[in-house]
Amino acid sequence: MDDILRLLHILALPFRILAAPVTALVHRHHKLPSEVSAADLPPLGSPWDQDDRWFRGGFPPHPGTQLIPLIHGDEYLPDLVESIRGARQRVTVAGWCLTPHMPLLRTESDVVPDTSVADILRDATEHAEVYVLLWAGAPAVFRPDRKTAKTAMRNLLAIAPKVHCALDYSAPFGHDQHQKAVTVDGRVAWVGGMDLTTFAGDRWDSAHHPLRFGPNWHDIQMRIEGEAVRDVEENFRQRWNAVTGEHLELLPSATSPDRAGVTAQIVRTIPRGFYPFAPDGEYGIAHAYLSAIPRARRFIYLENQYLWSPEIVDALIEAMNRPRGERFRIVMVLPARAYTGKYDNDRNVRRLQDADAGRGIFACYSPYAADPAFGSTGYRYLPIYVHAKVGIIDDEWLTVGSANLNQRGLANDAEMNVQAVTPDLARSLRSRLWGEHLGMTDEAVAAADPLDLIDTVWPDVARKRRASLRAQGPPEPRAGHIVDYRPGSNPGSRALDILEAVTLEH
Q: DSSP letter for 193, please.
A: S
Beta carbons of 426 and 391 less than 8 angstroms apart: no
Return the pLDDT at 192.
Answer: 98
**What pTM, to 2 d.p., does this model score?**
0.91
Chain segment 76-95, per-residue pLDDT in tens = 999 999 999 999 999 999 99
d(CA 420, CA 398): 6
DSSP-assigned letters across all residues of 254-320: -S-TT--SEEEEEEEEE-TTS-TTSTT-EEHHHHHHHHHGGG-SSEEEEE-S-B--HHHHHHHHHHH
Q: What is the mean pLDDT of residues 34-49?
A: 56
Classify the C-alpha dihedral 337-339-341-345 as positive or negative.
Answer: negative
Domain membership flag for residue 19:
no
Number of domains in the chain: 1
Return the pLDDT at 29.
Answer: 39
Chain segment 452-492, per-residue pLDDT in tens = 999 999 999 999 999 999 999 999 888 899 999 999 855 55
Q: What is the mean pLDDT of residues 492-497?
A: 56
341 pLDDT tier (thresholds 50, 70, 90): confident
Q: What is the mean pLDDT of residues 332-348?
A: 94
Q: DSSP letter for 411, please.
A: I
Classify the C-alpha dihedral 256-257-259-263 as positive or negative.
Answer: positive
Return the pLDDT at 2.
Answer: 39
Beta carbons of 233 and 183 less than 8 angstroms apart: yes
Domain membership flag for residue 380:
no
Indicate the range of 2-11, 89-98, 147-156, 277-286 predicted with least confidence: 2-11
Domain membership flag for residue 164:
yes
Return the pLDDT at 277.
Answer: 96
Domain membership flag for residue 284:
no
SS3 category, 295? helix
Q: Are strands 181-184 and 188-192 parallel, antiparallel or unpaired?
A: antiparallel
Domain membership flag for residue 175:
yes
Say which CATH number the domain at 107 has. Answer: 3.30.870.10
Higher pLDDT, 266 or 497: 266
Q: DSSP letter for 410, please.
A: I
d(CA 392, CA 401): 12
Give the ranges where 102-145 is alpha helix by DSSP (H).
Answer: 117-124
Domain membership flag for residue 124:
yes
Chain segment 121-174, per-residue pLDDT in tens = 999 999 999 999 999 999 877 889 999 999 999 999 999 999 999 999 999 887
179 pLDDT tier (thresholds 50, 70, 90): very high
Cis before residue 271, ω within 30 degrees of 0? no
pLDDT at 497 over 70: no
Return the pLDDT at 232.
Answer: 98
57 pLDDT tier (thresholds 50, 70, 90): very high
Beta carbons of 311 and 344 less than 8 angstroms apart: no
Mean pLDDT across the chain: 89
Return the pLDDT at 259.
Answer: 78
Max Cα distance, the chain (Å): 70
Return the pLDDT at 268.
Answer: 98
Domain membership flag for residue 115:
yes
Residue 76 belongs to domain spanning: 66-259
Q: What is the mean pLDDT of residues 314-328?
A: 96
pLDDT at 240 over 80: yes
Chain segment 61-78, per-residue pLDDT in tens = 999 999 999 999 999 999
Domain membership flag for residue 506:
no
Chain segment 261-270, per-residue pLDDT in tens = 999 999 999 9
Chain segment 402-444, per-residue pLDDT in tens = 999 999 999 999 999 999 999 999 999 999 999 999 999 999 9
